[in-house]
Amino acid sequence: MPSSAKKTLLSPSKITAWLDCEHYLTLKNNPERRRNRKQSRGTSDSEKSETLQEEEIGILEAPTDFADMLRKKGDLHERKCLENYKEKFGSSVFEVPEQNREEGESFEAWVERVGNPMNGEYEIIFQMPFIYEGVRGIADFLEKTENNGKVVYEPVDSKLARAGAKQGHLLQLLFYTEAVEDLTGERPEKIHVELGSGERESFLVSDYWWYWQRLRKKLIKVVETDSSTDTKPEKCSHCGICEFYWEECRPEWRANDSLVFLSGVRKTHQVALKKVGIETLTGLAAIPESHLSEVSEYNFDEESEQVFQKAINIWAKKSGNNLDDIHSEWNANQKKLPEIEINQLLKLWRQARLQVVTAQTKEIPTHFFSEQEMLEKVTEREKSKRGESLLHLPEMNEHDIYLDFEGHPFWQIKEGIIFLFGYLEKKDGKWEYVQLWSHDKATEKEKATQLVEFLHDRYKTHSEMNIYHYNHTERALLSDLMNDGDPTSSIVSILGHNFEDSPPEKQKLDELVNAGTFVDLLAVVRNSLQAGTESYSLKEMELLAGFTRNRKDLAESGEVNGDGSIDKGAGAVFEFELYANADLYGIEKDEDRLKRIADYNKDDVEATRELHEWLIRKREENERLPDATSPIPEDQEEETKSEYMQRVEILKEKIISKIEEERSGI
């Protein structure tokens, strides 16, 4: 047994997480560094064989939450790959005997017991455990090939991803490649990924070997470090699936008033702010207005300043809060402004102030952009999006539609589904909720067609009607459905997709789109205002409109609440999974699940309608904005652009002058 087996062992999945977040391994390997020392919800690589081999009768244990659902979908994909191998190779598929945990067999002892079955007897080896140079893992499959007359086993991993293999997938396979070479003396030429789409992607080991070897050197240091390693939680792409996010990192950020909670902030902004000594949200908000007015043409609002001062006074009265303390490093840096474009800095500063007001007063303040600011935002956009502001938001009318979809990205391994098309329409003076359900791909296309034809007929009869939604998802997904595409693929790719030989339904949808009937209220909000919320999701914006959902307590996990209601979209997906794939889990189809999803969807469309109404009301109340809908601007005249550019040049000169003064010590 390798001597490294006695040290802290990493798994390929841990390495993948570490690439995104160094703090992950600190928490994983050192429980004493955790807030919740009993926590360990993740599924390790050494556990996955047990899950799969215990469930060969075709029934999976029902998932407990959304994350568990994804893990089980991965197990199911792996099992289907195994079935395909068995169908092709029969008894030449060797299933490694599982680890005997009941008798206390360690992973190291299991590896030693399995030994080296890569002697050419088997075409496929399933669930082969390895330990090599401080890393342990279980290869999904090893596939026999020949290279220069010698038998070589090439690693194959099954992954749910459909669009292509990711960096982490390749790193896992490169470890298995290294481990195979250590046992057999032969390095595999290729590694393979069996994608959820049913496609296989293959890669030459030689193309990535240098990177793996360089990463190896870093890993050796990681394995040898102890709990004194100084790492801090940083927001990253791994947060969405990390077992420590909710109970470790997020509470720490909250306790530290972290900038990660500032809506619209990017990593580069945080780095620039921290460089000058601004490390908290309140610290950014508390930068004096006078300090920014020196380099900005922005007209600061006296009323907003008074509201903020009231909030910061409430904050200062709380134990442990002191402005001098949170600005100590900034003061030491001579109160330099961060290297962030001035308009962007002002936006972040104002957003921080709005959020501080919300946190301290429990009231959500808003800041509406001026008419000129809104015009500048939309005129910079492509022509089809120039109407996305409060200035051009249509008035409500009797024929409007409020639309929302619910979809499941992994309904089946190979494809997703839009399972509910929900909308509000007005009948006999009352708003009514309509739900169109689909439980297979054929019905999905049928319901999408039914919806498009309904919308088109309504438009032909009432050309003043509009279709309101929150975010572009609904329009984009409809476009994809009309083209027989995957409704849960990248929204960006869907929007950029060109339809050729479009069916009649797609032509009708194009007519609606080209007529400007679809109105994205998220875009309207972003181009028109800032609010004291940590995000601009519908769930946050509906609070401004005073909308109350038909549910009790909300669970921050984003799934199903104790009262049976659904908080977020992940909960709707989870509920539909348990309904649609009930046979897979050996549970009864519960029709109440569909009712809960419909209740959630109905809340969404009703919230969208009330947000629209609130926006119109706020426009009427705002003395700086026109009372009615303004015409969408055409292309800017050259002279208007020149005037705008002159203002930009003046502002640039002010900023450059300010920087030169700071550098010269004036």
CA nearest neighbour of 445 among 468, 413, 477: 477
Residue 640: how many CA atoms within 13 Å on its side-chain side? 10
Tell which wins on pLDDT, 557 or 297.
297
Tell which wins on pLDDT, 650 or 171.
171
Q: Supply the pLDDT for residue 485.
A: 44
Beta bridge partners of 403: 423
Tell me if residue 202 falls in helix, strand or coil: strand
Tell me if residue 552 falls in helix, strand or coil: coil
Q: Supply the pLDDT for residue 473.
A: 57
Longest distance between any two alpha carbons in the chain, whole Å: 83
Q: pTM of the prediction?
A: 0.84
Tell me if residue 27 falls in helix, strand or coil: helix
Q: Supply the pLDDT for residue 434.
A: 98
**Which residues, in sequence order, are CB contacts of 218 under 8 Å at separation 6+?**
none
The proportion of the chain whose per-residue pLDDT surpasses 90, expressed as a percent, equals: 58
Q: Supply the pLDDT for residue 175.
A: 94
H or E stretch at 421: strand 417-427
pLDDT tens across 454-508, in order?
A: 999 999 999 999 999 998 655 555 555 555 444 433 222 222 232 233 478 778 8
Tell me if residue 200 falls in helix, strand or coil: strand
CA nearest neighbour of 444 among 410, 484, 413, 475: 484
pLDDT band at 275 (very low <50, low <70, confident <90, very high): very high
Beta bridge partners of 190: 204
pLDDT tens across 215-229, in order?
A: 888 877 766 665 456
Q: Supply the pLDDT for residue 645.
A: 62
Q: Supply the pLDDT for residue 125.
A: 98
How far apart are the C-alpha atoms of 174 and 196, rounded to whole Å?
20
Q: Supply the pLDDT for residue 644.
A: 61
Nearest 5°: CA angle at 540, between 536 and 545? Answer: 110
Nearest 5°: CA angle at 540, between 535 and 546? Answer: 155
Tokens 């090599």 map to which residue? 132
Tell me if residue 97 falls in helix, strand or coil: coil
Tokens 């330099």 map to which residue? 336
- Alpha carbon separation from 38 to 27, 35, 70, 245 (Å, rounded): 12, 9, 23, 15
pLDDT tens across 192-202, in order?
A: 999 999 999 99
How far apart are the C-alpha atoms of 415 and 126, rounded to whole Å?
25
Q: Supply the pLDDT for residue 38.
A: 55
Q: Is pLDDT of 141 > 50?
A: yes
Tokens for 592, please give them: 């109440």
pLDDT tens across 631-644, in order?
A: 987 765 444 445 66
CATH classification number, 384-621, choose in 2.40.50, 3.40.1710, 1.20.120, 3.30.420: 3.30.420
- Alpha carbon separation from 380 to 284, 295, 387 (Å, rounded): 28, 23, 12
**What is the CB neighbour count within 10 angstroms for residue 371?**
16
Taking the CA atoms of the chain, what radius of gyration do you get in angstroms? 29
Stretch 398-427: mean pLDDT: 92
| DSSP assignment string, 426-446 | EETTEEEEEEEE-SSHHHHHH
pLDDT tens across 72-131, in order?
A: 999 999 999 999 999 999 999 999 999 999 999 999 999 999 999 999 999 999 999 999
Tell which wins on pLDDT, 51 or 130.
130
- The DSSP call for residue 551 is -
Tokens for 431, please give them: 């708003």
Tokens for 301, please give them: 């609002």
Number of H helices, E strands in the chain: 26, 13
For 428: left if phi > 0, alpha if psi spans -120 to 50, otherwise beta; the answer is: left
How far apart are the C-alpha atoms of 24 and 121, rounded to whole Å?
40
